[in-house]
Structure formats: structure tokens, C-alpha cells
Structure 1
């Protein structure tokens, strides 16, 4: 009996990370960045599927805004860190580190990356765009 319970628990543990990986922005409300200027955790009961990921929202209103125009809220460079891209590397951004430049959300890998992009935003974004184009070819 103990072996069956242990096997069941282990199988559940193996499933949990796969579900969490399908959450966009680690469950943060993408609309909150652009509307409120800060990440707000989304609620699991206010969510929608888009592009194979589950997007969570803090409010029904934010979900409706997203569903009306999801591309308006998408992080630039597909969520990759523009500072890393500007150095020729594709590295995921961390939803807790971000900047908004020209009404576009960019996720960054760290607080240091935040400082780097704010020191020269145009230069970083131009170099990041060149790498982004190469990656998409």
C-alpha cells in the first residue's frame, strides 16, 4: 500500500512543473504591467488560453482587455531579455524584472539588466533587435 501511495505522489510531483511551465509570466497579470506599472499576481480563476499558454489576470477587466488585443500586451522579443539579446544571447526574462519603453513591456533577466537598459535604452533595443531577427530566421 505504501508503495502505491508513494508512486501516486511521485507521479503528481512530476505533473506539477509541467502545468506551471504553461503559465505565461509565471502567473503574473500581463495587463497590470502596462496599466498599473507593476507586476500583480494573477488569479487562477481568472485566466485565458492564448498561444498554448495560460494567462492569469488580477481582474475580469484585465482579462477582457487582453482578450480584445493580446498582442498589445505581449512582452517585446517574446519575453527574452533585451540586454542578453543585445549581447548575442537568448535568455528568458524574469517577470519580476521589467521596463516599459514606448508602451512596450520588456522582461529582463535581473536588476543589473534593468540598470543596463535604462542607461542606454535605444542602443540596447537596436542591438537586441538585430539578434532577435537572426534568431527568427
Structure 2
């Protein structure tokens, strides 16, 4: 009996950690990037599963907005760092370092990469998109 209780308790403590790996955008609310121009952590209790990942939201309104058109809120270039990709290296971006261009959110790997992007966004984005297109078509 005690073994069962301990096993259940241990499983309940480790389960959120295992599932955290499947959190899209590191748990950031995808709608907040465009709506608030901020990386806002989503709540554990406001979740939608999409494309095999758990997308978290800061509010019920943001979750509803996302659910109406999830592709519109997915990061550009599949969340890769725009600067690294423009330089030929497909590296993951960090959801805390972002820029919204039009209605699309793009991630960078660091604040230094974000500053490099902001120095010439058109050129960097064009180069990254060209490299992305050559590997995904």
C-alpha cells in the first residue's frame, strides 16, 4: 500500500517535468507576442494541444484567438533563429528573444542576435527565408 502511494506521488511529481519538454515556445503565450509585444508566460491550466505540443496561454481570450487560427500564431521559420539561419546555421531560437514583423513572430537565439537582426531586418529575413526555402521545398 505504501509503495503504491509513494509510486503514485513520485509519478505525479515527475509527470509535469516530462511534459514540459512538449511545451511549445517554452510555455510562452504565442498570442502575446503580437498583441502585447511581449514574451508572456502562459498558464499551466490554459492549454491547447496542436501539432503534438502543448501551447500555453496567459488568458482564455488568447487561447480562443489561437484556436481560431493556430498557424497565424506559430513562429516564422519554425522557430529557428533568423540570424543563425541567414548565416547558414539552422539553430533553435529562444522564445524570449523575438521580433514581430507584420503579423509573424520570429525568434533569435540571444539578445546579441536580436540586435544584429534589428540592424538590417529586411536583409537578414530575406536571407533566412531563402535558406529556409532551399531546405524545405
| Pairwise TM-score range, normalised by the shorter structure | 0.7 to 0.9
With structure 1 as the length reference, what TM-score do the two structures score?
Answer: 0.87
In 2: Cα distance, 1:112 partner to 1:12 partner? 39
* Residues 73-104 of structure 1, C-alpha deviations (whole Å, 9 max, x = no match): 11100100110110001111101100111221
1:47 lines up with 2:41 in the alignment: no
> Paired residue for 1:103?
103
Structure 1 unmatched ranges of 5 or more: 1-6
CA shift for structure 1 position 135 = 2.4
In 2: Cα distance, 1:43 partner to 1:130 partner? 36
In 2: Cα distance, 1:111 partner to 1:28 partner? 17
CA shift for structure 1 position 14 = 7.4
How many residues align? The count is: 135
> Paired residue for 2:3?
none
* Residues 27-85 of structure 1, C-alpha deviations (whole Å, 9 max, x = no match): 11010111011011101111100000000001000000000011111110010011011
Larger mean Cα displacement after TM superposition, 7-16 or 38-47: 7-16
In 1: Cα distance, 2:109 partner to 2:65 partner? 27
> Paired residue for 1:64?
64
CA RMSD between the two structures: 2.3
In 2: Cα distance, 1:10 partner to 1:135 partner? 43
In 1: Cα distance, 2:65 partner to 2:16 partner? 29
CA shift for structure 1 position 15 = 5.7
> Paired residue for 2:4?
none
CA shift for structure 1 position 12 = 7.7
In 1: Cα distance, 2:45 partner to 2:16 partner? 17
Structure 2 unmatched ranges of 5 or more: 1-6
